[in-house]
């Protein structure tokens, strides 16, 4: 028996939120691996392995269905998304050569605000006071982490901020296209463009790969592929404004990986900001997934 419409919408939102959290976990793990590579290899070489690994995995999964996956009614949007996704990865990986993983992630965490507002302006999604409150609260948490005036906001910090703008654009396109096509279509176009765009730089920039680093280069492709698949599905099954605030979970994962891999312990302000971010995510989760009261409007938007 089909679920009533409000209950079905809540189920889709909960699934979208879960997929977003999983995507952010894999993305931040990939970024942590990349940080250990960009210190010894050119950024474009690291980016090449990230996208080349994805296209190999997707081709292996699809096998004979590749041609069908490449057929699309949205070629222009896929190209725009691929360019934006490529720029996101290049800008963020480049920032890791200058600033810490947690700081870079915190600066990138302006993207849920951009996505939520962009979804209202360009996709016609309702903003809703609960979504807006969650975004603002999470942004306050990010500002506590960033602490404007503390020296975190330097010229290299513009790189992850620019990455956030590009990511927001690609997320909005994903939300527009996602419900009409399989995730594999977006993943093929994105990986194909990223592989070609970074590959043309390799004859000039290539640095011989240490065999001990091969597993890390391979991990970039696997982690990025899983993250991309989850995020495409997230924006396909739920509204962008509902799931976007959960990208703030990335700062928590980035802090964890910074401690485990690089011995970079957060200070009290970073921990406080992370707590505010978690609270914002839990608030939105609660408001978006609770069944609406009979006869009452859905305030979550």
Looking at the structure of the chain, the number of domains it has is 1
Look at 194 and 64; give whichever has higher pLDDT: 194
Would 176 be classed as within a structural domain? yes
In a domain, 259, yes or no: yes
- Residues 138/277, Cβ–Cβ less than 8 Å: yes
Report residue 298's pLDDT band, with 50, 70 and 90 as the boundaries: very low
CB 284 within 8 A of CB 246: yes
Q: Would residue 294 count as lying in a domain? A: no
For residues 257 and 284, what is the distance between their CA atoms, to the nearest angstrom?
Answer: 25
Q: Please, which pLDDT band fits residue 240 given cuts at 50, 70 and 90? A: confident
User: Which domain does 161 fall in, by range?
Assistant: 5-289
Q: What is the mean pLDDT of the chain?
A: 83
Residues above pLDDT 90, as percent of the chain: 34
Per-residue confidence (pLDDT) for residue 8, from 0 to 100? 61
Residue 241 has pLDDT above 80, yes or no: no
Tokens of 292: 């609406």
pLDDT: which is higher, 6 or 70: 70
Tell me if 297 is assigned to some domain: no
Centre a 10 Å sphere on the Cβ of residue 261 and count the other Cβ atoms it contains: 14
Q: What does the pLDDT read at residue 249?
A: 82
**Position 299 in a domain:** no
Does residue 295 lie in a domain region? no
Rounded CA separation 88/105 (Å): 12
Q: What's the rounded Cα separation, in Å, for the pair 22 and 295?
A: 35
Please check whether residue 298 lies inside any domain of the structure: no
296 part of a folded domain: no
Between CA 197 and CA 218 the distance in angstroms is 19
Q: Is the pTM of this model over 0.75?
A: yes
């Amino acid at each position: 028996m089909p679920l009533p419409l409000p209950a079905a919408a809540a189920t889709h939102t909960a699934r979208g939120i879960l997929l977003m959290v999983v995507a952010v976990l894999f993305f931040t793990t990939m970024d942590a691996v990349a940080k250990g590579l960009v210190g010894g290899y050119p950024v474009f070489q690291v980016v090449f392995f990230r996208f080349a690994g994805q296209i190999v995995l997707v081709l292996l999964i699809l096998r004979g269905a590749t041609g069908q996956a490449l057929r699309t009614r949205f070629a222009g949007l896929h190209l725009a998304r691929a360019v934006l996704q490529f720029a996101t990865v290049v800008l963020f990986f480049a920032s890791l050569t200058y600033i810490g993983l947690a700081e870079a992630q915190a600066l990138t965490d302006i993207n849920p605000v951009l996505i939520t507002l962009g979804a209202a302006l360009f996709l016609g999604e309702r903003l809703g006071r609960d979504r807006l409150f969650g975004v603002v609260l999470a942004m306050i948490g990010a500002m506590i982490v960033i602490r404007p005036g503390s020296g975190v906001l330097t010229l290299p910090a513009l790189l992850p901020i620019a990455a956030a703008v590009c990511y927001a654009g690609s997320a909005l396109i994903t939300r527009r296209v996602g419900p009409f096509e399989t995730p594999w279509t977006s993943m093929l176009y994105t990986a194909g463009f990223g592989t070609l765009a970074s590959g043309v730089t390799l004859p000039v920039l290539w640095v011989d790969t240490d065999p001990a680093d091969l597993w890390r280069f391979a991990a970039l492709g696997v982690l990025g592929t899983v993250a991309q698949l989850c995020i495409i599905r997230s924006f396909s099954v739920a509204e962008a404004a509902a799931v976007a605030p959960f990208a703030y979970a990335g700062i928590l994962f980035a802090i964890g990986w910074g401690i485990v891999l690089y011995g970079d312990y957060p200070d009290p302000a970073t921990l406080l900001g992370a707590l505010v971010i978690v609270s914002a995510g839990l608030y939105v989760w609660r408001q978006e997934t609770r069944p609406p009261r009979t006869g009452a409007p859905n305030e979550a938007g």
